[in-house]
Amino acid sequence: MQRPFVLAFGLWLIIATGFRPATAFSQTAPAQPPRVAASPSGPSGPIDVLPEPKPPAPSVMSWLTEPDTIAEGTGALIGFIAFNFYVAPIAAAAGPAATGLQSWLGTRVVASTLAATGAVLTTTAYDVWSGRPLNYVMYWGRGGAVAGVAAGSALLGVMGYPASAALSRFSPAWVANRSFLVGTALLGDWAASSWARSRQSTRPP
């Protein structure tokens, strides 16, 4: 497993959190009752109810500094470190002749799984500590991303494309391989997140 892909997947994981619905930011701003403006006719006259102004849309910088975003990125980084320094060396020690579980440990699916697991664990820990509701949509999205990487890797194998280890780093074929897997991961994240959001919207109160 080459580390540039791990770094690229880490960047993707941070970018992918931006696919969350805009309503995810509303939980930090409690709803305010509508403002009431007194009519010129006095206290006994009619009362005009003015709608509460909408909060400004979150900027890119405000999203990057969101505590849950930082917690998720930190967990993903922990997962990458665990893969690079503890899991991948086990597969590399066996060499190209490795088979079975030992060779499977060095695959992109394992790297994606560890990154997603780290992101889910740290985000859950932060949500529990801060009293926020658990973000089940994010859980499904990260699981869908891992499934997308697995499906993309399997599809490349079925189509007869060479393994990434056999490609020259940063060659056109290497870049295409990475781009294809990032695309399938994003597609899996989007599909799983969309399904989870639809389930939440149809759930009875």
- 31-35, 59-63, 143-147: which has the highest mean pLDDT? 143-147
What's the confidence (pLDDT) of residue 184?
93
pLDDT tens digit sequence for 86-106: 887 877 776 665 566 666 777
Residue 9 in any domain: the answer is: yes
Residue 74 in any domain: the answer is: yes
Residue 45 in any domain: the answer is: no
Structural domain including 74 reads: 3-18+52-202
| Mean pLDDT over the full length of the chain | 75
pLDDT tens digit sequence for 128-186: 999 989 989 999 999 999 999 999 988 988 888 877 666 777 788 888 888 899 999 99
- pLDDT at residue 26 above 80? no
Helices 136-158 and 3-16 cross at an angle (nearest 10°) of 140
Residue 170 in any domain: the answer is: yes
Helices 108-130 and 136-158 cross at an angle (nearest 10°) of 180
Residue 107 in any domain: the answer is: yes
Residue 120 in any domain: the answer is: yes
Residue 39 in any domain: the answer is: no
Residue 28 in any domain: the answer is: no
Give the number of domains in the chain. 1
What's the confidence (pLDDT) of residue 189?
94
d(CA 177, CA 116): 20
Q: Is 41 left (phi over 0), alpha (psi -120 to 50) or beta?
A: alpha
